[in-house]
Structure 1
Amino acid sequence: MTISSSLNAGVSGLASNASRLSTISDNIANSSTIGYKRAETTFRALVTSPGSGSYTAGGVSVVTSRAIDQEAGLRTTSNSTDLAVRGRGFLPVTPISSLGTPLANYPLNLATTGSFRTDDEGYLVTDTGFVLMGWPAAADGSIPDFARDTGDGLRPVQINVNQATGEPTTEVSLGLNLPATETEFPENPLTGPLEPFVLPVEYFDNLGRSQTLSMEFLPSQPAAAGDPATNVWNLTIRDSASTSNADPNGNAIVGLFRVEFNNDRATGGTIDNVTAVNAYEDGTALAAADLPATLAGGPTVDWTWDTANGDLSINVGATNDVAQGIIGGPITLNIGAPEEPGKLTQYSESFSPNFVGKDGSPVGGLQNVEVDRNGFVKANFDNGLTRTVFQIPLVDMPNPNGLVPQDGQTYLPSTDSGSFFLWRAGDGATGDIVSYALEESATDVAGELTALIETQRAYSSNAKVIQTVDEMLQETTNIKR
């Protein structure tokens, strides 16, 4: 009956507007919740086939959803592990309750923002109980190629607060002047052997320990008065870490070179030539005990000079202790190329070390952790080193609004959202990751209050329809009296 259909339409209007009121109240209640995505209510008219000469009201139905793909503004914070996605994509997280279970059982939840802090075990966790997930870095800081269509390569991001690291020295650069007068025949010849000029240089071995390269510069002098200056020096490099075949002072020779300097007008004082030798200046052959040894034992001469860039190549840290092994490795010592000024020179009368530069660092403790825009989690140490320990990918799927909302502003993939894909942040269709930032709530309070007024009026109007139908039905029953 037409009047009855009007009553049903009014009832459906009350129910639909009550649902809209629920979404509005939820949105307003979460206007300060970080990462909140507003709920929306959509009305759909129910149309029935009209009869001949009459109309039957179908009423209204309601569909609620969340605008998960709607971005909100970002606000800055003082915490480096407060993260927000700028653009398309989601951070992978998992409930902290899943830790301790097999990795295959970890559910993959998604979030657009999160305030992550390290817990007592070093995991980056939000106050809502979700752990950040990422790809673990290899020992050298590189990120292996993990499968992008599965989360099997993801691991909970764990920061070892007691972690320490060091960087072995691989390059040393030297600026030094040798006195040219020392390669002349001396006015007062010594009765004993010449004393070398010594320059100790610190370096760091593979274990982050401080070791010393002792560089000994011994001049070659003419045999008789009146002979021209030789402009030749013998450079002996000794290593405190090379215990294999060490001398009585605990240092082993890891390099022996003959350095010749120019004396012409254009290039005087610069290096002319460097040769690696296996004999002392007086022609005495090096004893096996003076040569560096490989781990397997046996003498070897493996020092060279690269004329292109002026690098001396030596090996340090060789030991006879099989358990200890090699605690050093190859080091390049840059003294300068032929005719290059400003490195190793021979001028005037003074022994003058000008500079010593080197890479590497001693062992340092973890200072803080930061995340860059590409999702690389970098541990900063108090010795100045920075190591990449994880990379946070961004998860994307064809229909973000098809995700299933969960507690804590997280979502689960579903058949409606489509298959997900893991992107490196900043690549492909995804945005990037902003640290020191959180995404605000997507609720527009002014818009919600306006919708609240509309809902209230619509609800009242539907109630009025029901009241009117009731009065009309009352008049119908009054016909028969």
Structure 2
Amino acid sequence: MLGHTTRSLFHVREYAMSSIINAVHTAVSGLNSQSHAFSDLSNNIANSQTNGYKASTTSFEDYVTNNSLASDGESLSDSVVATTRQHNDNQGMVTTSTNSTALAISGNGFFNVVQATGQSNDSTPVLGTQQYYTRNGDFSQDKNGYLVNTSGYYLEGYNVNASTGTLSTTLNPIQVPSTIKFQPTESTKLTLTGQIDGKPTSATAYDSKGNAQTVSLNWTQVDATTWTVSNPNDATNSATVKFDSSTGAIASVNGQTQASGSTASFEYDGAPQDMTVSLGTIGGTSGVSLATDGSTPTGVTGVSDSVTTGTFSGISMQTDGSVMATFDNGYSQLVAKIPLTTFADPNSLSPQNGQAYTATSQSGTPQINAVNTNGAGTLSTASVEESTTDLTGDLSKLIVAQQAYGANTKVVSTADQLLQTTLAMIQ
């Protein structure tokens, strides 16, 4: 009888110890999971003032293991697992910044950025080939003219080719050096002055890309007071100008007599470009005129209305993603265009240092879009996107996690006491 009782006690102790050990394992998994939650919450709280930071949450799930308490094909949940869940698709509040080159995205897009991997001998950064994506748009120019955010990432975009004036089709870091040259503005008007001597008039004009073009005009005498001015490339593109025989002033253009002081002009069409040719004014001699006093005509010269000089003064950002170089003459010129990249699942991007991400197979292929297209979002200038951390909510969750952690430690200490009692059962 005593042997049977002893064997029963051994069975009871064995079952009890198995249950207690399983309880300890469960409590330890709870401690690990709550520690994971502590880490996520502390990271959110620490980055509550970090521009472009996307707060994460902790997800818990039960975990089934093959334990000794399972019987008849049953499985018991005896642990918990915690995972970090990203929320990169959450929109942060957009606030005004004192930094005029800062940009904030309202939408699903990300800025395309790269990192420096070193420096050349002249201190120019050596940029890596790894593509990163970020929502931190607090960009400023470094000493080399590159746009760099506060995390040290270099902004990429489509740069304007200085030779052709067209945008590139590949992404490259945006650099606007202080030595950038002003591109002459497109000529829209050619102003002529002087006395007709029958010789052709040549002048320099500039096309839409800032390239210099030579514009020529032929003068043909009709009679003593009438001349035609024409495009050498198209004789039909001409105007007949009649002058006053006594003063040499313009009397009419193409037979149209207008009030004194009215503008005298004709439209120059075709090669190298279209523009208005100003001949002067009706009744005036400040433009084109005839020499009527027997003196030698001075000849006719032309000057276009292009602005040809300017000193770089800074850059400005536009809401359509345009990066403009500004000059002291009041003009701005496009130097680059910023696109935004979207993903099918932005929450599956791989987080990197400095509020940056890399693409993964789960996030989907990067889709590059123009600003405000395909859900990429809009841009706000002189603005930043704030952290999405809910400071009040996370502090409340921190208290809950602390209580859960304490409860799990209580399970461990209680299990230890039960284990000691069980071991002493048959001693």
> TM (normalized to structure 1)?
0.64
Which position in structure 1 is the counterpart of 2:49?
32
Which position in structure 1 is the counterpart of 2:70?
51
Residue 12 of structure 1 pairs with residue 23 of structure 2: no
Tell me if the contact between 1:94 and 1:132 (Cα under 8 Å) persists in the aligned partners.
Answer: yes
SS at match of 2:326: strand
Residue 471 of structure 1 pairs with residue 414 of structure 2: no
Q: Structure 2 CA distance, aligned partners of 1:462 and 1:126?
A: 43
Tell me if the contact between 1:377 and 1:392 (Cα under 8 Å) persists in the aligned partners.
Answer: yes
Q: Deviations over 1:373-414 (max 9, x none)?
A: 222211122223322111111112211111111111111112
Which position in structure 2 is the counterpart of 1:116?
139
Tell me how many residue pairs correspond in the alignment: 362
Which position in structure 2 is the counterpart of 1:345?
282
Select which of 112, 125, 139 maps to 1:92: 112
Which position in structure 2 is the counterpart of 1:447?
393
Q: Deviations over 1:436-460 (max 9, x none)?
A: 1111111110011010011011111
SS at match of 2:347: helix
Which AA in structure 1 matches 2:49? S
Which position in structure 2 is the counterpart of 1:462?
408
Residue 142 of structure 1 pairs with residue 88 of structure 2: no
SS at match of 1:47: strand
Tell me if the contact between 1:85 and 1:113 (Cα under 8 Å) persists in the aligned partners.
Answer: no
Q: Deviations over 1:193-246 (max 9, x none)?
A: xx88xxxxxx8755999x9x9xx9x9x88xxxxxxxxxx555889xxxxxxxxx
Deviation at residue 25 of structure 1 after TM alignment = 0.9
Q: Deviations over 1:32-78 (max 9, x none)?
A: 11111113211110134763599855111111232222221111113
Residue 311 of structure 1 pairs with residue 267 of structure 2: yes
Tell me if the contact between 2:136 and 2:149 (Cα under 8 Å) persists in the aligned partners.
Answer: no
Q: Structure 1 CA distance, aligned partners of 2:81 and 2:239?
A: 91
Q: Structure 1 CA distance, aligned partners of 2:398 and 2:316?
A: 43
Q: Deviations over 1:400-438 (max 9, x none)?
A: 111111111111112221211211121223112222111
Which AA in structure 2 matches 1:61? V
Which AA in structure 2 matches 1:411? Y
Q: Structure 2 CA distance, aligned partners of 1:44 and 1:159?
A: 51
Which AA in structure 2 matches 1:362? T
Q: Structure 2 CA distance, aligned partners of 1:367 and 1:204?
A: 27
Deviation at residue 331 of structure 1 after TM alignment = 6.8
Give 1:105-254 correspondences, 5 Å limit: 106-139=129-162, 141-144=165-168, 146=169, 153-167=170-184, 170-172=187-189, 234=227
> Please, which runs of 5 or more residues in structure 2 have no aligned partner?
1-17, 197-202, 231-236, 245-250, 257-263, 288-301
SS at match of 2:99: coil
Tell me if the contact between 2:187 and 2:305 (Cα under 8 Å) persists in the aligned partners.
Answer: yes
Residue 429 of structure 1 pairs with residue 411 of structure 2: no
Tell me if the contact between 1:370 and 1:379 (Cα under 8 Å) persists in the aligned partners.
Answer: yes
Instruction: Classify 1:380/1:22 alpha carbon distance in 2 versus 1 (closer, same or farther; 3 Å).
Output: same
Q: Structure 2 CA distance, aligned partners of 1:332 and 1:55?
A: 86
Instruction: Classify 1:79/1:23 alpha carbon distance in 2 versus 1 (closer, same or farther; 3 Å).
Output: same
Which AA in structure 2 matches 1:131? Y
> Please, which runs of 5 or more residues in structure 1 have no aligned partner?
147-152, 177-194, 197-202, 222-231, 238-254, 263-268, 275-306, 316-328, 337-342
Deviation at residue 161 of structure 1 after TM alignment = 0.8
Instruction: Classify 1:372/1:61 alpha carbon distance in 2 versus 1 (closer, same or farther; 3 Å).
Output: same
**Which 10-residue stretch deviates more, 23-32 or 123-132?**
123-132
Deviation at residue 84 of structure 1 after TM alignment = 2.0
The CA RMSD over aligned residues, in Å, is 4.4
Q: Structure 2 CA distance, aligned partners of 1:72 and 1:6?
A: 42
Q: Structure 2 CA distance, aligned partners of 1:398 and 1:3?
A: 46
SS at match of 2:340: strand
Q: Structure 1 CA distance, aligned partners of 2:181 and 2:125?
A: 29
